């Protein structure tokens, strides 16, 4: 299980790095085996920053991330290697994951050298074939090609096959559908559903609300670095509580409902035990000083949590 505990990320920005940008503030959530969790938010809300911290591609400013109880920032050497055998990421632009001057099959050779040095050629070839078949690719056709000779969807599937080869238990999938055309999208989505059926857990990062709804049983809604609402996808989508989530859901045309005449009015959000919902307009306007208000998650209904301000 992966657990994100009070995790924050502050980037130093400005000409001389004199300013701070709170890209992620006090994120708290868990992902269990076999769970698909969507991380949804507009551009710049901090989604990729969370994904990269989980993959240890970025250091954490505060808080910790644990994998089966171990703080991932303390992993080194063989343990870190083991972590990456279990936890892998796939990113939006599949081309960036390949070196254009090498055939794509090289990615697989590297995995073998790193993780399975003792395996016989025969067993390894069998594994590669199985993984490629599982993602609907023909091994004889694609491994000898250069990245530019394959489509974005094929490259994306090769990366998923790579995760299969490693037999990962957790995948960070950061906007992996965005670059694909409509028919390939469905294939990759179905593939993710298959992986989930095998017990793989996925953090599915997207700015597309409908994709989040389609694919996940849990959803995290992020705005300006803060997870403002999270919980069972059904509840978060059908009965959003935080003003930002409500705003987001109102903005989506719904096929099961007629649009109200005139401007859409937001119904007032019900109060939560007298505490104010976390105000994301404050989130990045302060500089980490004493006035900084940390979001606190409150369970408003079984399986549904909303961020409130501490004060």
Which does residue 214 bind out of Mg ion, ligand ATP, none, counting CB within 5 to 8 angstroms by kind? none
Among 21, 232, 269, 282, binds ligand ATP (CB under 6 A): 21
207 binds ligand ATP (CB under 6 A): yes
Closer residue to Mg ion, CB minimum distance, 48 or 216 = 48
Closer residue to ligand ATP, CB minimum distance, 23 or 150 = 23
Instruction: From 36-44, 69-77, 135-143, 249-257, give the range in contact with ligand ATP by CB under 6 A.
Output: 36-44
Which does residue 139 bind out of Mg ion, ligand ATP, none, counting CB within 5 to 8 angstroms by kind? none
23 binds ligand ATP (CB under 6 A): yes
Query: Least Å distance between CB 40 and ligand ATP?
Result: 10
48 binds Mg ion (CB under 5 A): yes
Closer residue to ligand ATP, CB minimum distance, 44 or 139 = 44
179 binds ligand ATP (CB under 6 A): no
Is-contact 75 85, C-beta < 8 A? no
Closer residue to ligand ATP, CB minimum distance, 221 or 308 = 221
Is-contact 224 307, C-beta < 8 A? no
Closer residue to Mg ion, CB minimum distance, 4 or 161 = 4
Which does residue 231 bind out of ligand ATP, Mg ion, none, counting CB within 5 to 8 angstroms by kind? none
Q: For the purposes of burial, counting CB atoms within 10 Å of the CB of 218, is it exposed (0-12), middle (13-18) or buried (19 or more)? A: buried
Neighbours of 271 (CB within 10 A): 12
Which does residue 28 bind out of Mg ion, ligand ATP, none, counting CB within 5 to 8 angstroms by kind? none
Instruction: From 28-36, 46-54, 118-126, 145-153, give the range in contact with Mg ion by CB under 5 A.
Output: 46-54
Closer residue to ligand ATP, CB minimum distance, 150 or 220 = 220
**Considering CB under 6 A, how many residues would be counted as binding ligand ATP?**
13
Which does residue 43 bind out of Mg ion, ligand ATP, none, counting CB within 5 to 8 angstroms by kind? ligand ATP
Closer residue to Mg ion, CB minimum distance, 53 or 293 = 53
- DSSP assignment of the chain: -EEEEEEEEEEEESTTS-EEEEEEEEEEEEE-TT-EEEEEE-TTSSHHHHHHHHTTSS--SEEEEEETTEEGGG--HHHHHHHHHHEEEE-S-GGGGS-TTS-THHHHHHHHHHH-TT--HHHHHHHHHHHHHHTT--HHHHTTS-GGGS-HHHHHHHHHHHHHHHT-SEEEEES-STTS-HHHHHHHHHHHHHHHHTT-EEEEEES-HHHHHHH-SEEEEEETTEEEEEEEHHHHHHS--SHHHHHHHHTS--TTSPPPSSSPPPPPPPPBTTBPBP-TTTTTTS-SSTTPPPEEEEEEETTEEEEEE--
Is-contact 215 38, C-beta < 8 A? yes
Query: Least Å distance between CB 212 and ligand ATP?
Result: 13
Enumerate binding residues for Mg ion (CB under 5 A). 48
Enumerate binding residues for ligand ATP (CB under 6 A). 11, 13, 21, 23, 41, 43-49, 207
């Amino acid at each position: 299980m992966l657990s994100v505990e009070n995790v924050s990320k502050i980037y130093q920005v400005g000409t001389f790095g004199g300013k701070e940008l709170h890209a992620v503030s006090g994120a708290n959530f868990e992902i269990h085996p076999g769970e698909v969790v969507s991380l949804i938010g507009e551009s710049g809300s901090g989604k990729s920053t969370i994904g990269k911290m989980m993959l240890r591609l970025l250091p954490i400013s505060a808080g910790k991330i644990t994998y089966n109880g171990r703080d991932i920032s303390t992993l080194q050497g063989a343990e870190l290697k083991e972590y990456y055998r279990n936890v892998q990421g796939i990113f939006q632009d599949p081309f960036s994951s390949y070196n254009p001057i090498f055939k794509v099959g090289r990615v697989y050779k590297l995995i073998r050298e790193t993780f399975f040095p003792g395996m016989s050629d025969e067993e390894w070839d069998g594994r590669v074939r199985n993984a490629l078949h599982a993602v609907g690719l023909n091994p004889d056709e694609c491994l000898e090609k250069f990245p530019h000779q394959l489509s974005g969807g094929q490259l994306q599937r090769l990366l998923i096959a790579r995760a299969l080869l490693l037999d990962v238990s957790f995948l960070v999938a950061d906007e992996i559908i965005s670059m694909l055309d409509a028919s390939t999208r469905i294939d990759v989505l179905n593939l993710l559903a298959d992986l989930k059926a095998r017990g793989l857990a996925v953090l599915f990062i997207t700015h597309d609300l409908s994709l989040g709804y389609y694919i996940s049983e849990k959803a995290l809604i992020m705005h300006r670095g803060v997870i403002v609402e999270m919980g069972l996808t059904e509840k978060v989508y059908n009965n959003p509580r935080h003003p930002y989530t409500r705003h987001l859901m109102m903005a989506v045309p719904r096929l099961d409902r007629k649009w109200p005449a005139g401007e859409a009015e937001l119904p007032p959000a019900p109060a939560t035990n007298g505490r104010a919902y976390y105000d994301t307009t404050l989130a990045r306007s302060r500089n980490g000083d004493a006035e900084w208000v940390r979001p606190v998650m409150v369970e408003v209904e079984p399986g549904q949590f909303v961020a409130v301000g501490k004060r």
